[in-house]
Structure 1
Amino acid sequence: MNLPIFDLVVFLIYMVAIVGFGLSFSFRKRSALDFTTGGGRLPSWAIGMSIFATFVSSISFLALPGNAYLSNWNGFVFSLSIPLAALIAVKYFVPLYRKLNSESAYYYLEQRFGLWARIYASICYLLTQLARMGTILYLLALPMNALFGWSIPMIITITGISVIIYSMSGGIEAVIWTDAIQGIVLIAGALACLLVIFIDIPGGANEVFTIAASQNKFSLGSFDLDFTTSTFWMILVYGLFINLQNFGIDQNYIQRYVSAKTEKEAIKSTWLGSLLYVPVSAIFFFIGTALFAYYQAQPELLPSDISGAANSDKVFPYFIVSQLPTGITGLLIASIFAAGMSSVSTSVNSSATVILSDHFKKYIHPNPSEKTSMRVLWVASLIMGIFSILVGLAFNGVTSALDAWWALASIFSGGILGLFLLGFIVKKCNSRNASIAVSVGVLVIIWMSLSSYILLGDLAPFQNPLHSNMTIVVGTLTIFILGFILGSKKGRTTIDPAF
């Protein structure tokens, strides 16, 4: 499919403008602290939009409609867990990290349990970010593949190289301000897509609801108390644990807490980004449902090579390039592309910060000069960018990028939320007990992740019976409960009354 010349012009102008805007911040940063926190001078609304954009990225904009098109609104239950996780974050987590005044999310774990805890958590974080960046790069390639017919591996590689250059230049200020712009444009673009669907589908908006309701597309999933399949309760529990991990121990979020001018501003930004995502994610799911009705009513509009379940993530990109008015297509493709690049640059920036703060400064050079620190940040950004390209190439061909990302997030998280909660809530748990709990928790995570592949025959009853998304839940609970029990054996174990 060829892109009209006007759309191509809009796409190129927008991309050059947003990348140029991001690169302009390279002239403002003066130190490694500016690169990682923006000097603590960023306004709350921009940070809030950046938190929102961190949630959204191309994972939401492309994968959520694909997930709803393929099945129903079961995945939306994840969003319903965000307000509760945000409430806990603004009450406990934001004040904690503002008080510590460290750009590292894992400095606190070292204070509680020693250096091993900081290294362990930071490595788990880096693995999770590689999975996230790979998912985003793959999803970015889908609309460009539909647009130009270029190979997905080539698009992933070129995009990844562009992001590496962008990430090494702008720092956290560039990330946050470009995120704020992208968030606004993406919301407008999503609403525009829905409007086009309502106008173009025979029978109008009522037909969307009629077809979707007849196919049970608005279902939130089974309400059975079953954690072996994707039920309402399984997704809700999974979402709560993932979002507590995001707000409590994710470098992306902690950097935003400390980038705000004051604690009050940090709390405002957290609420803004969190609460905005819930209705916007509902819009994304509704787009997927509306697309299902749209192509059910007009099946001739959808090519046979895209209509299959294995290509559900490609349906929305195809709609964008084939059905949207000229000009809107170019703008939306550019905004998705730029937002994805901005999201990847967020992960690259935070990962580089972790490598500098939690690794280089800890066991290579405790007091590096500003020049050395910036050099480490640049090299770390380059390395993480290259590995993210390789992960993105590995994603090519997955049935649902959203499901794959959720599964990898559960595995790579390594139960670090359990370790954080253990240190934050159970005040008398010492380093030795925490290390034992983590070791057992990691074994549980490995078993839950790999048992279905390596246990056969008579050992089949010992396979993990739970849904793969429950890995983070069970791993977290194992670490927390075992650490609590071990701590109680040497005297009374106390739970922080503030929590």
Structure 2
Amino acid sequence: MRSLPTLDLTVIVLYLGAMLLVGWYFSRKNKNAEQFTKASGKIPGWAIGISIYATFLSSNTFLGVPGKTFGGNWSAFVFSISMPFAAWIASKYFVPFYRNTGEISAYTHLEHRFGAWARTYAVVCFLLTQLARMGSIFFGVALTLQALTGYSMKMIILCMGICIIIYTVLGGIEAVIWTEVGQGIVKTFGAFLILYLIIINMPGGVSKITAIGLHDQKFGLGSFAINFQEPTFWVVLLYGFFINLNNFGMDQNYVQRYHTASSSKQAVKSIWLCVVLYVPVSLLFCIIGSALYAFYQVHPELTEAIRHQAAAEHLPANATASQIANLAANLSPADYGDKIMPNFMITKIPAGLVGLIISAILSAAMSTISSGMNASATVFSVDIYKRYFKPGINEKQTLWLLHTATVVAGVAGVAAGIAMIGVKSVLDVWWQLSGIFAGGMLGLFLLGMISRQTRNHEALVATIVGILVILWMTLSVLLPEQYATFRNQLHQNMIIVVGTLTIFLVGVILTKLRQKQNPIATVNHQNPVEKHIY
């Protein structure tokens, strides 16, 4: 740990001040709910595309991908390989669908299709997903800043949370988007700067990094064996496809941006711009992880210090030096990968540049968290409060509700981040939680769009079955040893894949059985509103 030099602190303070000024600038425009949630549909497609890219490029990518690559290989990049396939489906079907509905919420249409329960279920899944996302990002950034500054992780999370809440409440979605445009540029520059600093500090440069990486198999994409019990290439590819399909098709963070565009064409352009930017940059972070691995192979004294730090954090405070040393000796690179980037910043990055890179990490966190706060406030206001409590509130009351809900979402995210302190891998935690919460609503959404004859009760039964499957896959690991046979044998990344397919296939099978038993009743049962939407 060390205290940051004045120059670095000045850079960070100036960055945070600039973010608050952006929020204040756009606060003058936020006179109604439409401006706060849609920016009146006047944002150009290129800005939305960079904004979506910045949301994808969270601190989970900035810190988690290099850490995971350090401990393994480039399997995290397989997630990005799946993105173009999901983007094609989204641009062809999802964007026109949401633009035609005209609904700001991604979940309102589910009530028209299956009833109020479907809409509420999807909203709950989304809010839980956002809670997990914000919490993991707060934790990941605090992990880095604690190593750099010596301040407690709780204090870092609280201070960062306050700043993000203020500028998000002030500026609304327009401030979020334009801030993310700047943040996307800062993050990308920060990534290239880190790679450059690794290379110039590495004896032998690029050739040495390549030699070590090839020797220790750090450039692979994972096993190509047909094995769904391990994080093979196919498991990560399937996980990435379903998560990205959920992001582009069901995640309010992205759906809300489709409505800020001036046309469907601009919204589609924004998706493809995001893909074009994110895929190569995600590869860049894998390269950074491999480069860090090589760097620490030639600096074993630095690695030893990190291993002891990680071991000390896994043991009680009264652990002896020998206990810490014994545990440190048994740790693998995967056990301390998340600590590598902060350590490199402490030891090898000069004053001034540390502040710039911390600003890049903060921007990676702030863009995703602010987007999550705004989206969470929107769906809570539209799908819960106005749906069940006070549907007839005026514009002034709606705007006050959005501000209040944004603050509540931010506080909940801060609490989740504090609760995650001590987890092993921030990226693994995020991948697992997002798979659990997203699988159900994606399956229900696809059932509603593809199986046009599926009715309310069939969708409800399918969703209940899907939830039970997801819970079993998630919690069966806790079963006692004598019941080990009943544990889920698939890798945790398969939860969203199996959960989504379960809901969809059970719904389709129930629909076919009903049609077979009562063929006369197979006429399209949708009401005029459903026909208009679907």
TM-score, scaled to structure 1: 0.96
Letter in 1 for 2:354: T
Corresponding residue to 1:369 among 391, 394, 399: 394
Q: Tell me how far apart the structure 2 counterparts of residues 87 and 81 of structure 1 sit (CA, whole Å).
A: 11
The answer for the alignment partner of 2:279 in structure 1 is 278
Q: Provide the secondary structure at the position in 2 that maps to 1:490.
A: helix
Deviation readout 1:362-398 (Å, 9 max, x if unpaired): 1111121111111211221122111111111121111
Greater shift, 306-315 or 42-51, is seen at: 306-315
The answer for the alignment partner of 1:339 in structure 2 is 364
Letter in 2 for 1:354: V
Q: Tell me how far apart the structure 2 counterparts of residues 339 and 408 of structure 1 sit (CA, whole Å).
A: 20
Deviation readout 1:154-178 (Å, 9 max, x if unpaired): 2112222222222221100011001
Alignment of 1:163-174 (within 5 A): 163-174=164-175
- Does the C-alpha gap of structure 1 residues 131 and 476 become closer, same or farther in structure 2, counting only changes over 3 Å? same
CA contact (8 A) 2:22 2:167 kept: no
Alignment of 1:76-475 (within 5 A): 76-302=77-303, 303-304=305-306, 305-306=308-309, 309=333, 310-453=335-478, 455-475=479-499
Greater shift, 300-309 or 273-282, is seen at: 300-309
Q: Tell me how far apart the structure 2 counterparts of residues 494 and 231 of structure 1 sit (CA, whole Å).
A: 44
- Report the Cα offset of residue 457 of structure 1: 4.3
Greater shift, 175-184 or 383-392, is seen at: 383-392
Deviation readout 1:289-334 (Å, 9 max, x if unpaired): 1001011112234533457543321211222243223322211111
**Aligned pairs, how many?**
496
Letter in 2 for 1:459: Y
Q: Tell me how far apart the structure 2 counterparts of residues 382 and 12 of structure 1 sit (CA, whole Å).
A: 22
Q: Tell me how far apart the structure 2 counterparts of residues 330 and 154 of structure 1 sit (CA, whole Å).
A: 18
Q: Tell me how far apart the structure 2 counterparts of residues 306 and 334 of structure 1 sit (CA, whole Å).
A: 25
Q: Tell me how far apart the structure 1 counterparts of residues 78 and 356 of structure 2 sit (CA, whole Å).
A: 30
- Report the Cα offset of residue 7 of structure 1: 1.9
CA contact (8 A) 2:20 2:166 kept: no
Q: Tell me how far apart the structure 2 counterparts of residues 235 and 415 of structure 1 sit (CA, whole Å).
A: 19
Q: Is 2:500 the partner of 1:476?
A: yes
Q: Matched residues, percent identical?
A: 49
- Structure label with greater radius of gyration: 2
Q: Tell me how far apart the structure 1 counterparts of residues 95 and 24 of structure 2 sit (CA, whole Å).
A: 29
Q: Provide the secondary structure at the position in 2 that maps to 1:229.
A: coil
The answer for the alignment partner of 2:39 in structure 1 is 38
- Report the Cα offset of residue 434 of structure 1: 0.4
The answer for the alignment partner of 1:22 in structure 2 is 23
Q: Tell me how far apart the structure 2 counterparts of residues 494 and 93 of structure 1 sit (CA, whole Å).
A: 26
CA contact (8 A) 1:51 1:274 kept: no
Deviation readout 1:8-66 (Å, 9 max, x if unpaired): 22222222112212332111112111111111000111100011011111111111111
CA contact (8 A) 2:32 2:395 kept: yes
Q: Tell me how far apart the structure 1 counterparts of residues 22 and 350 of structure 2 sit (CA, whole Å).
A: 27
Letter in 2 for 1:413: A
CA contact (8 A) 2:187 2:363 kept: no
Deviation readout 1:73-112 (Å, 9 max, x if unpaired): 1111111000000000000000000101111000121121
Deviation readout 1:188-210 (Å, 9 max, x if unpaired): 11111111111110011100010
Greater shift, 306-315 or 421-430, is seen at: 306-315
Q: Provide the secondary structure at the position in 2 that maps to 1:316.
A: helix
Q: CA RMSD in A?
A: 1.8
- Report the Cα offset of residue 482 of structure 1: 0.6
Q: Tell me how far apart the structure 2 counterparts of residues 384 and 476 of structure 1 sit (CA, whole Å).
A: 26
5+ residue gaps, structure 1, are none
Q: Tell me how far apart the structure 1 counterparts of residues 264 and 346 of structure 2 sit (CA, whole Å).
A: 43
Q: Tell me how far apart the structure 2 counterparts of residues 414 and 334 of structure 1 sit (CA, whole Å).
A: 33
- Does the C-alpha gap of structure 1 residues 185 and 402 become closer, same or farther in structure 2, counting only changes over 3 Å? same
Q: Tell me how far apart the structure 2 counterparts of residues 105 and 171 of structure 1 sit (CA, whole Å).
A: 18
CA contact (8 A) 1:3 1:321 kept: no
Q: Tell me how far apart the structure 2 counterparts of residues 127 and 452 of structure 1 sit (CA, whole Å).
A: 21
Q: Tell me how far apart the structure 2 counterparts of residues 228 and 191 of structure 1 sit (CA, whole Å).
A: 35
- Report the Cα offset of residue 224 of structure 1: 0.7
Letter in 2 for 1:389: V
5+ residue gaps, structure 2, are 311-330, 525-530
Letter in 2 for 1:260: A
Q: Provide the secondary structure at the position in 1 that maps to 2:147.
A: helix
Letter in 1 for 2:298: A
Q: Provide the secondary structure at the position in 2 that maps to 1:222.
A: coil
